[in-house]
Each structure stands twice: as structure tokens, then as C-alpha cells.
Chains A and B, each alone.
Chain A
Amino acid sequence: KSFKKIDEELFEELEEALIMADIGVDTTLNIINGLRIKVKEQKITDASELKQLLIEEISSLLERGDHEIHVDEGPTVILVIGVNGVGKTTTIGKLAHNMKQQNKKVLLAAADTFRAAAIDQLEVWGNRAGVDVIRHQENSDPAAVIFDAVQAAKSRKTDVLICDTAGRLHNKKNLMEELRKIFRIISREYPEARKEVLLVLDATTGQNALQQVKLFKEVADITGIILTKLDGTAKGGIIIAINSEMNIPVKYIGVGEGIDDLQPFNPQEFAKALFAEENNDSL
């Protein structure tokens, strides 16, 4: 490969790539400034080395934290939350299938009683994965569904109870309080269970995702993020800002609408993909 020099233009190119990946202005400028210092310190002159350095920096940042969902240590309740349309229900279908394949006894709770046909949607996924769904009627109290599902999980000796919730924008006070209540019921009714609270983020989301994480974190202890829709052209770079500001690990990524389209998060690959376009011509 031909040798390319490091110049101002290259820094600008990288800056552009990072911003276009939704990493955000502040985080991008921080990363690029850090890179400038390293270049001086380590006397780096080759452009390709620079890009490699950047990829390593980003992936090491994203490696922090626990990327597993632990289902081998006693009963687990997974609460799935997020704004509207990000892929919560679909992800639950995939997760249920995934855990079923690990020979776990899985139960789903249809606590989105609000959106049109949300319960039926989850039921279809339950059928696909071959797991039962605890459901009430449309427009009933979601907290009551959660309560029932927890009792059912206990009496059936379920390994993993996965709870679907209605999409809600993080700035809606009453809906967020409803979620707080749901989280509280799980803690109160099932203290011995391991809790995972997974926030689902759509990879196409821009800077607003930071706000989403901040406000959802206030009502439930988020243990991980699932980044969906990475099969598109969006890069999901906002999780870098989320990781550096709030240190919440990404646990899985969604790469399609099928039941198998859920993958463990791989920081290295993710970081590489941020520069995917440029890889073609310059790396």
C-alpha cells in the first residue's frame, strides 16, 4: 500500500468520518485532539497507522464494562425499554430464541398494552421462538401484567422472564413514572432474581440518544444497551459518547428483522465499521 502523509487534510477527513457516524461534535473533537497529541508524542507519520490507532482507541473505550447477559446464575428478569419504534419487541423475539437455544426456560411479558396490536406482535414472536407470553387486554395496566408475569415466572420456575414495554419518549414525565413503577415492582416482587435492564437504541438515532440514556437511567438501572438496525448505513456512533460519558456497555447488536439477526457486540468490528467507506480507497 502506498504511503500517505499525515496532514491537516487527513485530520479533517477523520473528523468528518466521525461526525458522519453520529459520534457528535464534542466527542469527535476530543478524539481528534487526543490523536494529534499521540501523533506528536509517538512521531507517527504514516496515515494508515493513524487510522489504526484511532480504531484501537475507540474499541478499547467500547470494551469497558460487562457485555454479557448472565442467565446461568439463577432466575433472571430482563426489562426491555426505549423510545418508540427502536426495535424492542423484535429484539425480545430474538433474545427469547437465543436463550431458548441455550436450553433456558423463557417467558415473555406483554407489558405494552398501549400501542395498537403490540400484544399480538409479541405473541407472534413468542410463537416463533416457542415460548409463552403473559398477556392482559389492550389498554390494561402494564404494571399489573408485570406483576402477573413475575408470579408466573416464579411458579413455573422460569429461567428468564423478558418484559416488553411500550415505546415512550424520555421527555414524557408520566410515561417515565410508569416505567419507574414497573421497575420497582420487579425489584420488590422478585428480589432474588438477577435483573437486566436493556435500553434499546436505534443506530440511526443522532445526538438525541444521549438524552434518551440519561433520562431512562433515572427511572431504571440500565445494565446494557442493544443497538439495533446496524444492517443499514447508519453507524451508531452515538454509543461512543454514551460510553465515555455514562459507561454503559453495549450487549448486543441488531442486524435485521429475522429471529437470528442478533449478534454479540464486538467493539473492534464496530470501530472498524465507522470508517468502512474510507477503508475501500485509502486503507
Chain B
Amino acid sequence: MAFESLSDKLQDVFKKLKSKGKLTEKDVNAALREVKLALLEADVNFKVVKSFIDKIKQRAVGHDVLESLTPGQQVIKIVHEELIDLMGSTQSKLTFSNNPPTVYMMVGLQGAGKTTTSGKLGGQIKKMGKKPLLVACDVYRPAAIKQLQVVGSQVGIPVFSIEDSKQPVEIAKAALQYAKDNRNDIVIIDTAGRLHIDEKLMDELEEIKSVVKPQEILLVVDAMTGQDAVNVAESFNEKLGIDGVILTKLDGDTRGGAALSVRSVTQKPIKYVGLGEKLEDLQPFYPDRMASRILGM
């Protein structure tokens, strides 16, 4: 399960720290170097790790820590606090518009899990007694519309599409009207995967945004992403102003460092995690629990 091996490594470091009565600055630096390597191995972005460690160092090598009765505990406490600061402390729920339909836009790189997650999310919202509509705005990927239709039928949610249209902006606009006419109070827009450096396609997202005025733009990120997660999250956020992140494929044995990177550079919360290919495999994300789990506390 994700984060486990990061957690093992950090606990080793902490055990060493705790076993020492007195700590010198050198001890702390050595421990922090190990924390740094563990985070890098877990795919947390290099720059994020650097600033994280610097912050901890500043707080941890002061007199009140080193001269305290339990310096090891103090250092661990600081790491814990900084980790919570990095990940956020409370769960961020999905928000709903006062003026329905509430529109969510799913965006992200190719293959991240947008279409699958659209279905999962729709299924969960439907269980709240709402009437979601899925919208097929991916006009590029072969059989993307069909994929969303299959997913929609599996969760019993209608899918709006215009088979012969190559105009995602028009499709989104028409879908909104359709939702209003059919009293769908939730609209989930599945967009095509795209690279954050593809200007034309990034402009397209901006246009869809301006037409549908989404309640939330959700960036879907593959948990196995490495150092590049930062570039992706930063670019999507700068261009669109994302509202939250959904981290998929956490059912793998990934160390999930991308979660920390993405949250750190965007300051936007991770709202859900995907834990499998089945449509029920979507769970709310609790950053505080995750932080505690990483540290084995």
C-alpha cells in the first residue's frame, strides 16, 4: 500500500533519534539527510524536499530543541508538524453550487484516470440523492465517448455527447443546457488528456471553463508520477486555477510522493483518492491521517 515504505524508512530514522539522550546539530543534520533521501525515493519533488528539510532544520537546530529533555521527540514533532503543513490538516470536501447545476471539470495528463474517475465520482454523488450528468468532451481519443458511455451505464448515469462534433467547447455548452432542461443538478465534464505544455489544448480548457463556469476544476493525477508532478500541477493550476486534486491508482505499491509535491506547489487540497479500477474504488482523502500514517504515529 502507498506510503508504507516511506513510513518504514522514516520510523527507522526516528528510532535512532529517540534512542539518543542528547542530540548535537550534527546528529540532527544526519537524521534530516536520511529523511531527505527517503522522501526523494518516495518521488517527492527535489525542490519540495529541499524547502521542507530547510524549514525543519531551521526549527530543529535551535537551543530550545537540542537542550530540551527529549530532543529526539522534539525533532520528530517538528517533522510531523511540517508534514501536516505540507499536506494540509483537514479533509477538503467537494463543494456544491447554490445555483445548480453544479459543474465539475475533470482535467489532467493522458491516462491519469479522468474518465474512470468521472464515473466513480458521479456514482458517489448519485448515492447522495442527486441527478448527475456525465459529459463527453474528449473528442480526440479513440472510443473515448464510448468509454464514458460504458462507465455511465455501469453507474446508471446518463451521458451527454455529440457523436460527430469535434468542438469540446460547444459540447460543454450544449450539455449545460441539456442539464438545465432535464433537471440534472450535477454536471461532470470529462475532458481529453493533454500535456500541460500543449498550448492549444490548454487554451481549450480555459474556454470550456469560461463557458461552463465550473464549481470545481479537479486535476486528476496518477499517484505513480515522479518528479514531473510538480510541472504538471503548477501548469494546470496557473492556467486554470484548479480547486482540488484527485490522486488515482493508489492501490499500487507506489510511495505516492506526488501527493506531497502537488499539494505543496498548488496549495490545493487532494479531495479524493482512487484505489482501483472498479467504480466503487474512490475514497475521500484525509491528509492528517495520511501524515500520521507516513510517520507511523
Show the binding face of A for B, using Cβ within 8 Å.
16, 19-22, 24-26, 83-87, 93, 114-118, 120-121, 123-125, 128, 138, 169-172, 202, 204-209, 211, 229, 231-235, 238, 257
Contacts and interface: CB of A to CB of B under 8 A. Distances in A.
A170 B252 contact: yes
Given A121-B143, A169-B252, A208-B253, A233 B111 contact: no
A211 B154 CA distance: 32
Given A19-B40, A117-B147, A232-B109, A206 B257 contact: yes
Contacts of B148: 116
Interface of B: 37, 40-43, 45-46, 109-113, 115-116, 140-144, 146-151, 154, 195-197, 222, 224-229, 231-232, 249, 251-255, 257-258, 277
A120 B46 contact: no
Contact of A121 (B113, B142, B226): B142
B227 A234 contact: yes
A121 B147 contact: yes
Given A204-B222, A207-B255, A124 B143 contact: yes
Nearest to B113: A85
A257 to B, nearest CB: 7
Given A206-B225, A233-B228, A257-B110, A211 B140 contact: no
B249 A20 contact: no
Given A87-B111, A234-B227, A116 B142 contact: no
Q: Is the interface of B mostly helix, strand, loop or mixed?
A: loop
A209 B255 CA distance: 11
A170 B146 CA distance: 27
A26 B41 CA distance: 9
A242 to B, nearest CB: 13
Nearest to A234: B228
5 contacts: A116-B150, A121-B146, A204-B226, A233-B231, A233-B232
Contacts of B115: 116
Contacts of A170: 252-253
A87 B141 CA distance: 12
B253 A25 contact: no
Nearest to A28: B40
Contacts of A205: 222, 224-226
B46 A20 contact: yes
A81 B22 CA distance: 53
B226 A234 contact: yes
Given A115-B147, A128-B142, A233-B231, 6 more contacts: A19-B46, A93-B142, A205-B224, A207-B41, A207-B42, A209-B224
A234 to B, nearest CB: 4
A186 to B, nearest CB: 24
Contacts of B195: 229, 231-233
Nearest to B39: A25
A226 to B, nearest CB: 14
A86 B197 CA distance: 19
A201 to B, nearest CB: 10
A46 B204 CA distance: 46
A125 B251 contact: no
A125 B226 contact: no
Contacts of A207: 41-43, 226, 255
Nearest to B152: A116
Contacts of A208: 43, 224, 252-255
A85 B251 CA distance: 14
A229 B110 contact: yes
B217 to A, nearest CB: 20
Contact of A233 (B113, B196, B249): B196
